[in-house]
Each structure stands twice: as structure tokens, then as C-alpha cells.
Amino acid sequence: MVVGDFATEVDVLVVGAGPGGYVAAIRAAQLGRSVVLVDKADLGGVCLNRGCIPSKALISASRRYEQMRHSAEMGLTATDVAVDFGKTQSWKRDVVGKLTGGVGALLKGHGVQVVKGEAYFVGEDTVSVSTEESGQRYKFNHCILATGSSPVELKAFPFGGRILSSTEALELSHIPQSLIVIGGGYIGVELGQTFARFGTKVTILEGADGILPGFAPELTRPVAKKLQQYGAEIVTGAKATAAKETGDGVAVTFEAAGQTREVSAEYVLVTVGRRPNTRDLGLESIGVAIDDRGYVEVDRQCRTSVGRIFAIGDIVKGPALAHKASYEGKVAAEAIAGLASEVDYKCIPAVVFSDPEIASAGLSEAEAKAQGYEVTVGKFGFAANGRALSLAAAEGIVQLVADKSTGVLLGGQVVGPEAADIIAEIALAIEMGATLEDVALTIHAHPTLAEVVMEAAESALGRPIHQLVRR
């Protein structure tokens, strides 16, 4: 008898242990299902191990370093401030380890069986899992696909050597003297700014007219200004065409403003997007519909064209965000359990952990107008906020967008200190159908950064206290 001839039966099989997969597994177990979770890598997926968490740890370390070096305006000076980058990386790995250990404990506590191996579909209800030791088949009643995404690799910039994806950049053993970043989106800006704070000479090549092209210019300008203060060069309208490695670095040829230029650095970081991991799973052979970009087609319950199979996270359309994947994981698990859960994407927050941070939820002013709304907009700057001034972090604004006729909040955007946390209040208000009046009448503690949200609501209503209104 060959190992794996007989299939193990399970209620729910989850393929992928990232923020979508492990959440789906736990929720399915909570709803009384027997669950097997399969992943060929570590619990927590890219986000926890090679993305969100390690990058935020390095961002935090670089921010702390910058504050130690530049707090003279507060009367604080420090000498001999230095970086032991090996120790920084060790601390980062400790953070990751604590969280992966926590995920493992949660899965175990909910009775989820974790299998480390690579999954391949051999039927509509059967998966073959190859492990280091052997193989096993699992026959499932339902399956949740949560295989995530991988960095896009450019033909002219193949990963390896001195050409890095974000994964390799996060594992560098030293702070590079210079770094070229191809792509000025979320990852490029976050990591570029992180290394710039550590003292790296950073050059960002972005094909659009500005960095972070998904956000309005008034939100991205403070970030661009800060990058330049850290010594970074930003080249927009740039198309990188070739790379040539030298003994101690790499030279990149690019086109911008009608000219061909060349810039050299110790490393090149390529951050031009991610592609869904839907290849080599056998999905096409069992009839799971996939579009020409590799995304699995799903309904509002995350159900694929094969009714017993669901798909969540980066392999379905929408922003590649960990919290979106977790949300979809709960919806899929609840749908399997017969609950009436459906996805509602109207208020998914988006955050860039830049300096200053950028965050948004709901509709922007332009998006609201495009959908036919007559809008009213309220803005308030951190420059007039006591807490922001006391933190020496007064750049940026809060903007609220509301339906003019009803006052119902449609969206909000923040650029400034702790924007990633401030956006939660705005998202909750949108989700609850709150009006500008509701937000303005909510008593906010003083002095806090969140007061700016209240002030922006008062501004939209035409009665700001800490802002002069032209009559």
C-alpha cells in the first residue's frame, strides 16, 4: 500500500495559513467544523513573516533612530547614536516569532489540524498534500483557498544578487549605503523611507506623476517632502529599462522627461505590485474560474464557480490587504456554516505606514462625485492640534466627505501622525451610517490627535471653533 491511497475526510480544508487562511480556519472551527489547515511555509503567511509585521518593526526602529538623532528643538541632544543592524534584525525576528507562536497556539486551542505541505487539487472535493515525509489526500466537504500573492518580477530586473524583492530587502544583514527603489507605491515608499532614515541614499523611480498614485496629491505631498528631507531623490514619470550588476553594486538605466539616465546603487529594490498565487494548484482542471490576470472569480460569499470551494484574500479582486483577507475569511467560514454573511467592501481602510502616515476609508471627494453625490467636505490640519504640536508632528490634515443633503459620512482621508489608528474612528462612523453632526457631537478627549476628526466635522458643518471661517 502506498501512503496517501486513502483520503482523510474533513469538513473544511483551508489552503494557506496567512491572515485570511488562519482566520478562516479558526472561525470555521468556532462554528463546529472539523478543520485542516495546509501551508507549505510558516503560519501567518507573507504578512506576518515577510511583509506587514517585519516591515513595520523596521519602520518603528528607523523612526526611533531618527527621533534620537533629531530632537534638538525639544532641547534633547544625544551623542554617539548608532545602529547595530544585526541586533535590530534580531529584535524584528523576535516580534515575528511571538506572533507566529500566538497564531499556532490559537489554532491548536480551536482544534485546527495544521499540515505543512504543498496542496494540489486532484478532484472537486479532494486535495493531495505533499509533505517532507510523505503525502496525504484530504477529502473535504468545503475548501477555502487563501494562497496569497507574490512580488511581480520584471523581465529586465530578475530577482537575485543585488536585485531584491521586499522579502530580501527585509532580511538585509546591513544598512546599504545606497538603494534604488523601482516603484513608489505602498511598499516602495515604506521601505525606501525606512532605509533613508537609517542613512541610506535612496532613489525612487515611479512611473506615475507622483508617489502613491492611488491617493490624492494633497495627501502624498507631505510624504514626498519628508522623503526629500531624508535625502531621498524622487523621479516621477520614470521607466526603468535595464540593470547591470557591477562588483559592488548595480547600475539602472531609466527614461524620464524624454531623457535616458543612469543611476547606481548598492542594491535595487523592485516593488511594482504583486500577482495572485493561483498557479500550480490544479484549479483549472477542476473547473474553478480564473480570469486572465490569475484572480479567482467569486460571489459575495467568496464562493467560486465550484460551489464547495471558496476563495479569499489576494487571489480575489480588490486591494491586497491583510485585513481584507481576514474579513473575507470570516465571511467564507460563516457562509459554509449556512449563515447569511456577505462581503461589503464600502469601508475597507487603506494605510501607508509612511512618515507622515496616510490612511483612507470609504469614498474620496472625487469618488463620491463620480458616483453622483453632491458632497460637503470638511478639513482640519494637525498644525492647530495641541497633541500633534507637543509630539513635534504637526504635518498633515484630516478630511471628511459627506453627502450634502443628509450629512451622512461617505469617506475620510488622513495624512499625519497616527493616521493608521485615527482612520478606525472614521471607518466605524461610515459603517454605522453616522452623520457629520454625530461626529461633531461626539466628545473627544483633550489633548488627543483624534480631536482633528471632530474639528473636521465641525468645519464641514460651518461652525469650526479652532478655524477661522471667511464670511
Q: Per-residue pLDDT tens, the chain, 471 aa: give them.
A: 344 568 899 999 999 999 999 999 999 999 999 999 999 999 999 999 999 999 999 999 999 999 999 999 999 999 999 999 999 999 999 999 999 999 999 999 999 999 999 999 999 999 999 987 778 999 999 999 999 999 999 999 999 999 999 999 999 999 999 999 999 999 999 999 999 999 999 999 999 999 999 899 999 999 999 999 999 999 999 999 999 998 899 999 999 999 999 999 999 999 999 999 999 999 999 999 999 999 999 999 999 999 999 999 999 999 999 999 999 999 999 999 999 999 999 899 999 999 999 999 999 999 999 999 999 999 999 999 999 999 999 999 999 999 999 999 999 999 999 999 999 999 999 999 999 999 999 999 999 999 999 999 999 999 999 988 776
- pLDDT reported for residue 468: 84
Same domain, 298 and 394: no
To the query of whether residue 70 is one of the catalytic residues in this protein, the response is no
Pick the last residue of a domain from 336, 364, 388: 336
Q: Let me know if residue 158 belongs to a domain.
A: no
Same domain, 81 and 125: yes
Cβ(211)–Cβ(223) below 8 Å: yes
Same domain, 283 and 256: no
CATH of the domain at 202: 3.50.50.60
Which residue among the candidates 142, 174, 444, 446 is catalytic per the annotation?
446
Same domain, 138 and 15: yes
Dist. CA 126–CA 159, nearest whole Å: 34
10 Å CB burial of residue 443 (0-12, 13-18, 19+) is exposed
Same domain, 279 and 266: no
Q: Let me know if residue 67 belongs to a domain.
A: yes
Dist. CA 323–CA 230, nearest whole Å: 30
- pLDDT reported for residue 429: 98
Dist. CA 300–CA 322, nearest whole Å: 18
Distance, CA of 213 to chain centre: 15
Range of the domain at 368: 356-460
Same domain, 418 and 304: no
Same domain, 265 and 283: no
- pLDDT reported for residue 134: 79
Selection from 426, 410, 297 nearest residue 346 by Cα: 410
Q: Let me know if residue 289 belongs to a domain.
A: yes
Pick the last residue of a domain from 272, 290, 318: 272
pTM: 0.94
- pLDDT reported for residue 3: 45
Q: Let me know if residue 265 belongs to a domain.
A: yes
Dist. CA 191–CA 268, nearest whole Å: 12
Same domain, 126 and 186: no
CATH of the domain at 376: 3.30.390.30
Q: Let me know if residue 346 belongs to a domain.
A: no
Domain count, the chain: 3
Dist. CA 171–CA 58, nearest whole Å: 10
Nine cell digits for residue 75: 532641547
10 Å CB burial of residue 82 (0-12, 13-18, 19+) is exposed
Q: Let me know if residue 226 belongs to a domain.
A: yes
Same domain, 26 and 128: yes
Same domain, 138 and 36: yes
Same domain, 327 and 435: no
Q: Let me know if residue 216 belongs to a domain.
A: yes
Same domain, 390 and 454: yes
Pick the last residue of a domain from 256, 272, 288: 272
Q: Let me know if residue 467 belongs to a domain.
A: no
